[in-house]
A = this chain, B = another copy of it.
Amino acid sequence: MNAPLKIAIAGLGTVGGGVVKALTARGEALSGRAGRKLEIVAACDRDESKKSGLDARVWVNDLHAIAQSAADVVVELIGGENGAAPSLVEESLKAGKHVVTANKAMMARHGVRLAVLAEEKNLALKFEAAVAGGIPIVKSLRESLFVYGVSAIRGILNGTCNYILTQMEATGRSFEEVLKDAQRLGYAEADPTLDVGGGDTAHKLALLTGLAFGVKPDLDGMAVQGIAHITPEDISFAREFGYRIKLLGIAKITPQGLDLRVQPAMVNAGTPLADVDGVFNGIVADTKQAGPYFFEGRGAGEAPTANAVIADIVDIARGNRGPAFGVPAASLLTLTAAPAGSASSPFYLRFQVLDVPGVLAEIAGHLAKWRVSIESMIQRGRAPGEAVSIVMITHETTHAAVAGALETIAASDKVVAPPCMIPMEAK
């Protein structure tokens, strides 16, 4: 057997603790997979109490000691887009160490620069755990699905949002109520902004885009919308039309350029993404003539994420050290973004209006001016003089046209709340 692979771990929270536990409990089986012993030689955490689960000799006091340790691989699990995490990764690579990270924010923002550095030094930089937890989507895009090129990625990449939407559907309760429950159960953070605002999905989508299309991850060119405006009424109308509402990360090659966005979308019931429930993640990758592939599994949590980290470590132990994004980072392209609002699909529209004569004519008139044509319309119930919902499904049109029409409609004194628009990602 080869020499042991020496590992240094920065960050002993849920994931780091899980990695230590699995490497300890399943050391022999994992060494069999790796073809060599996997040995933790250094570990640190801001919280000194984390020392307890470890061989005392491996504890070190700071990140500098991790980067300068005897390790072959540094595992970065401290998180954070800027600051300590990218500094540690940079110092580790400069010190000749391979790096494994679960840090999506850092990789989305600094991944290309760090990958260039790694590749100059012939080192691996791996990040399976940064996207969709235990689902091997990073490896699959990097090493399997590239042959004919990928034309589109659609993913449910945030378990918190998917849990909230699933619970809203199951209970009919509001976003705010379900969010509070999710926080109590530990499925949502005290500050849930990054999850429910779509930012976390954006980080992951940026990384998948890099892997799928050979382009630089681009957060700045991405339209990002969260789920806070979705109502139980939207969800129940969706069901009635044969759809479910999911927060999707979408990346598509279109004639206008790369269409890249995070937003709630109507997904056809009975298609794989529609059936991804609760905290699970799911991803569809369209690979041109090789067809669509679908992956589903746990997108977060100790074991799934530790699984992804350890699989990366074993890859490095086996000598699988290709470029982070599947092609040399220095050769990643900058794709032209499709113009804002050019994404085209049917849309679901919901208006809260006063139930007075002429309101429908006014809305229809504004939509017609923007050449948005209506496929079907529902107004449920009557409440003369009070607020009711009007729901419409449009024929295929652009986001820009619908947004333009809705801006005018929102200004009407008969419209009592901001209108809601949700694209229908039918196929």
Contact = CB atoms under 8 A, between A and B. Distances in A.
Interface residues of A, number: 57
A295 B298 contact: no
Of listed A289, A302, A315, residue having the most chain B CB within 10 A? A289
Contact of A294 (B270, B295, B310): B295
A345 interface: no
A275 B274 CA distance: 11
Nearest to A147: B307
Contact of A134 (B293, B295, B327): B293
A28 to B, nearest CB: 11
A121 to B, nearest CB: 16
When all copies of this chain in the complex are counted, the total is: 2
Interface of A: 22, 26, 29-30, 32-33, 35, 128, 134-136, 139-140, 143-149, 214, 270, 272, 275, 287-298, 301-304, 306-308, 310-311, 314-315, 318-323, 326-328, 331
Contacts of A297: 291-294
| Interface pairs A-B: 7 shortest CB-CB | A136-B144, A293-B297, A289-B303, A291-B298, A147-B307, A294-B296, A290-B303
A125 to B, nearest CB: 15
Contacts of A294: 294-297
Query: Which of A22, A29, A148, A314 has most chain B Cβ within 10 Å?
Result: A148
A291 B331 contact: no
A147 B34 CA distance: 11
A32 B272 CA distance: 32
A147 B319 contact: no
Contacts of A270: 275
B321 A147 contact: no
A1 to B, nearest CB: 10
Nearest to A292: B297
Given A139-B143, A291-B298, 18 more contacts: A22-B147, A26-B148, A33-B326, A134-B293, A143-B311, A144-B307, A145-B307, A270-B275, A290-B304, A292-B298, A293-B296, A293-B298, A294-B295, A318-B322, A319-B319, A319-B320, A320-B320, A320-B322
Name, among A289, A290, A293, A311, the residue most crowded by chain B CB atoms within 10 Å (CB to CB).
Answer: A290
A307 B148 CA distance: 7
